[in-house]
Amino acid sequence: MEIPTASDKGLLRPQEAAAHIDLRRYPAEGPIGAYVERYWSVRWDLPEDASYESVVIPHPCVNLSFMPVLGAEVHGPGTAVSRHPLTGAGRVFGAKFRPGGFSALTGEDGTHFADWSVSAAAVFGPVADELNRIVMGGGDIEATGAVSAFLSERLPPRPDPRYVDLLRIVGTMLSDRGITRVDQVAERFAMSPKRLQRLFGSYIGLGPKWLIRRYRLHDAADRLAEDRDVDLARLAAELGWTDQAHFTHDFKDLIGSPPAEYAAACASAGRELVMAVR
């Protein structure tokens, strides 16, 4: 599967995050790549008595994560930002599935995936705990191989045509920023809005309108982090909001601060990082 179905966006205040965490991404190769978007790891090593909170706008994807204390867990797409308080030193490794990929691989009903969290053993059995020990006992390359092999053993015998259709639709929604409404998607793929809703709900647990808005909020946060002086009214219009007021409301409702304030915080963190490395 060559079509990207998840971007690299979503990490908030990326300039500040770069000073505290080491985020790495690895491709999912071979047949399992039809279900897994990529593998990822986060490392941190903070000074004594220091702490940092990593904040992410989640993607419409299930993540299988591996941790030294909590063990292996499965997390569905979050509707709110995901907050991760960090202290000391540590590492987390994970597999980010494509939207709908976890349901297509495991047969799990996707209708309950939104804000879902469960131990991996509840889905895969006790073997998931052994896999967590293997992943935590080696480096990222070994972990990537182990998780890929584990998931590849569970590949379905043949592709699900409805899932293949879903990936084509999601890939288009992600890449074409001109898509801001569900009726545009329905017309592009000759499907009724109700049929789209059922397809997305059964595999992802969230509707197409939610995905469009989430992708556009990813775009907005990314643009604001790069340019604090971006024209907010123009940005809102480009990303499909009817006006700046509605854009500001939606952005603040998810992230906790208005767009201008978020852009200023990113710019300030960037200046501090430059000063620190001089």
| Whole-number Å distance between alpha carbons of 79 and 77 | 7
Tokens of residue 255, six digits:
């992230």
Query: What is the Cα 147 distance to its own chain's centre?
Result: 18
pLDDT for res 170: 97
For residue 147, is pLDDT > 90?
yes
- The predicted-structure confidence for 229-256, as pLDDT tens digits, reads as follows 999 999 999 999 999 999 999 999 999 9
* 186 and 199 Cβ atoms separated by less than 8 Å: no
Q: Which of 226, 205, 71, 49 is nearest to 134 (CA)?
A: 71
Average pLDDT over residues 4-15: 95
For residue 216, is pLDDT > 90?
yes
Tokens of residue 183, six digits:
């009726």
Q: Which residues pair with 87 in a beta bridge?
A: 51
Does an H or E element contain 156, and which?
none
Q: Which of 2, 99, 17 is nearest to 58 (CA)?
A: 99
* 68 and 136 Cβ atoms separated by less than 8 Å: yes
Average pLDDT over residues 163-188: 95
First to last CA, the chain: 43
* 32 and 125 Cβ atoms separated by less than 8 Å: no
Average pLDDT over residues 189-215: 97
Cα–Cα separations (whole angstroms), residue 227 to 126, 221, 222, 270: 48, 10, 9, 11
* pTM for the structure as a whole: 0.94
Average pLDDT over residues 181-204: 97
Please report which confidence band the pLDDT of residue 177 belongs to, taking 50, 70 and 90 as the band edges: confident
Q: Which of 67, 76, 73, 57 is nearest to 7 (CA)?
A: 57
pLDDT for res 3: 82
Does an H or E element contain 178, and which?
none
pLDDT for res 276: 36
pLDDT for res 34: 97
Specify the DSSP class assigned to residue 205.
Answer: S
Residues comprising the chain, all counted: 278
Does an H or E element contain 108, and which?
none
Mean pLDDT for all residues in the chain: 94
